[in-house]
Chains A and B, each alone.
Chain A
């Protein structure tokens, strides 16, 4: 099921993801060319959300593979269930079966543990495969991933080669902590996700925070945009914005200007290091507030 390009943004909005034209085009292109999409951008700009929203739009399963240093095939692709295999050997030996039969038995589907990548190519309906923070994985893993992404088949020596029943929609995200290989980049479509502009962020707040009014959402978005311009160690992402908006809504704040103290105190939702916290003093917060309102 592929959507028209114009519809994608609308559908995404329907599941709570506010998309601009560029990302909508990228997602359409991904379906059209059947290629994986690589999303890069600062931490917290909502890259992972794209995958989740895509799954929701297509009403398909979201299979997520979180990458980390040292991630290997056993954790990502498949593994044999050793414990059960050993048990099976012992019980069958007792019955007196011969070695060949036992071997055939213990290397069957029943003892195969699916890991995300294998799961993703064995579904009837194409799922969304979200490979999160691929830059954290080792280079060797990247090479292996590349192979999987081009052939969509996996060979398990003891069993057989498993071909994809349906080609999953693949979204990769990267925070840019490591330079990805050219080969992987070339295999993928590319989109750089920026922090949303004020209007877009306000609509995100409205879509995601129940019971918040438009004026406050706009104020919050403006304020966050101003905070991002400050020289911070960790720039607050969209998730932090949403936390903050929810907090303010929960505290029954309706106008930021009226309650500078509440603004200052709740700003811990945005600032996650001691250094940043001490940098954004009461005075700075007041100054930003004046500029924003």
Chain B
């Protein structure tokens, strides 16, 4: 981080890159030093906000500025936007960052705090503000907010048994009580194993192989040309293995708060182990969290997410969150080889009808819907919650997820998908 400014400056004063298209001769005089510095600062701000701005982009931007004759001040913004953005989310956030930077307010520090989009507007940002720094994540002190007290104490009794048998019991320990690092590591290993089990499956797409089930006539004939038309070398086609994609929607509402900390870690491991995984967190609204989860620093990523997951009171709006998902994200993140995993207790304060409708839409889009319900592992729990009832008809697998044992039990199922 600290070495960045010098690198930028160095690159900007260097000769124009040797380029095949010969645009170097269009350059007029070099951009004034203050402007160069300002631009480097802007690039840095963008980087801090998660844009992938490299030296090449900065150099190109300078070149655009150099051709001032062709650019009026009004088109600086669209030009830089086209140059610096790479994704739709970049595109949406660019204007605010641009204004903030060029109008003098340096928003870097505030942005860094959460890694979330523009101050004030974005849900994630507001969530973070609701959080008091220093408060433990997962908040084990909020026990009184969970319902179904009987099962709770039974599970707690089992998990809290101290002493020699502690390790063996880990798998059966209710996830609410897993705190120490070793156990956390075990969770990560499990998540990685689950991810591996699900990763590969066959698809119909075929691939050319030396051996296979069907003859690839076209290529065989191609090969035969060098033998004067006699098909000596045969070419075959075989089914290709394509990765399964996993999309996880995690309920982070108050009623789930005891499990949130664990599942956030679980999510992080999944996103890391899967090449194609997307994660969302919802309570009263939905937030896309995979970018934050991809932070290489595990603890920072988990912390960042836990902040977002820390619900701001109020109930869970599963139906509405799913509607947001369906409308804005589903088309991008869901394809025919997607397994959707919803982790929620099904306590919905919205309309059950709405939830059922959105579940039906999801059902049409993806390959499997897995609903993990931590409460299901509690003794005497039956899915009576209205939301749960509404969603169940569309769920392929409804499974408990209150301890490692129950998650491990998922592995054979996921491997079969």
Chain A residues within 8 Å of B, Cβ to Cβ: 4-5, 21-22, 25-26, 28-29, 32-35, 37, 40, 69-70, 80, 82, 85-86, 89-90, 93, 103, 106, 152, 167, 175-179, 182, 185-186, 189-192, 231
Partner of B78, one of A26, A37, A175: A26
Q: Report how many A-B pairs have Cβ atoms within 8 Å.
A: 98
Which residue from A175, A178, A190 sits with its C-beta under 8 Å from B82? A190
When distances are taken between beta carbons in the complex, the residues of chain A under 8 Å from B83 are 29, 33, 189
A192 contacts B91, C-beta separation under 8 Å = yes
A176 in contact with B331 (CB, 8 Å): yes
- Pick 6 A–B contacts, CB within 8 A, sort by A: A29-B82, A40-B91, A86-B225, A177-B332, A182-B52, A192-B91
Digit string of B327-348 for contact with A (CB within 8 Å is 1, else 0)?
1000110010000000000000
* Interface membership of B21, Cβ < 8 A: yes
Contact for B79 among A29, A70, A82, A93, CB less than 8 A: A29
Contact B332 A186 (CB under 8 A): no
Complex contact B225–A85 (CB within 8 A): yes
A33 close to B52 (CB less than 8 A):
no
**Given A82-B222, A106-B225: A21 touches B70 (CB 8 Å cut-off):** no
Check A25 against B86 for contact (C-beta < 8 Å): no
Q: Cβ of B327: which chain A residues have Cβ within 8 Å of it?
A: 231
| Residue pair B67, A32 in contact (C-beta under 8 Å) | yes
Contact call B70/A32, Cβ cutoff below 8 A: yes
CB pair B64 A32 closer than 8 Å: yes
Q: Which 3 residue pairs are nearest across A and B when measured between Cβ atoms?
A: A34-B21, A185-B86, A25-B78
Summarize B's interface: helix, strand, loop or mixed. helix
Beta-carbon contact of A182 and B86 below 8 Å: yes
Residue of B nearest to A88 (CB): B225
Q: Do B332 and A33 touch across chains, with their CB atoms under 8 A apart?
A: no
Assess the A93–B91 pair: CB atoms within 8 A.
Answer: no
Q: Which of A70, A85, A152, A179 contacts B205 (CB 8 A)?
A: A70
B75 at the interface (CB under 8 A from A): yes
Q: Which residues of A contact B23 (CB under 8 A)?
A: 32-34
CB-CB < 8 A to A70: which residues of B? 205-206
Encode B226-239 as 1/0 by CB contact (under 8 A) with A: 10110000000000
In the bound complex, how far is the Cα of B82 from the Cα of A28, in angstroms? 11
B414 beta carbon closer than 8 Å to chain A: no
Are A189 and B82 in contact (CB-based, < 8 A)?
A: yes
Closest to B290 in A: A179
- Count contacts on B: residues with CB < 8 A to the other chain: 43
The answer to whether A176 and B332 have CB atoms under 8 Å apart is yes
Given contacts A33-B64, A82-B218, 12 further A-B contacts (CB under 8 A): A21-B74, A25-B78, A26-B78, A26-B82, A33-B60, A33-B63, A34-B23, A82-B221, A82-B225, A175-B331, A176-B332, A177-B335
Q: B90 at interface (Cβ–Cβ under 8 A)?
A: yes
Q: Judging by beta carbons under 8 Å apart, are A167 and B335 in contact?
A: no
Residues A86 and B52 in contact, CB atoms below 8 Å apart: no
B52, B56, B226: residue with the most chain A Cβ atoms closer than 10 Å: B226
Q: Which residues in A have their C-beta under 8 angstroms from that of B206?
A: 70
Q: Which residues does chain A contribute within 8 Å of B91, judged by CB atoms?
A: 40, 190, 192
In the complex, which residues of chain A have a beta carbon less than 8 angstroms from the beta carbon of B19?
34
Contacts A29-B64, A33-B63 given; indicate if A86 touches B85 (C-beta within 8 A): no
Residues of chain B from 20 to 54 with CB closer than 8 A to chain A in the complex = 20-21, 23, 26, 52, 54
Does A25 contact B21, Cβ atoms closer than 8 Å? no
Residues from chain A with Cβ under 8 Å of B228 in the complex: 89, 93
Q: A86 and B221: CB pair below 8 A?
A: yes
CB distance from A88 to the nearest CB of B (A): 9
Check A80/B71 contact, CB under 8 A, given A69-B205, A190-B85: no
User: Which chain A residues lie closer than 8 Å to B54 at the CB level?
Assistant: 186
The one of B57, B82, B335 that contacts A25, using a Cβ cutoff of 8 Å:
B82
B88 and A192: CB pair below 8 A? yes
Interface residues in B109-134 by Cβ distance below 8 A to A read none
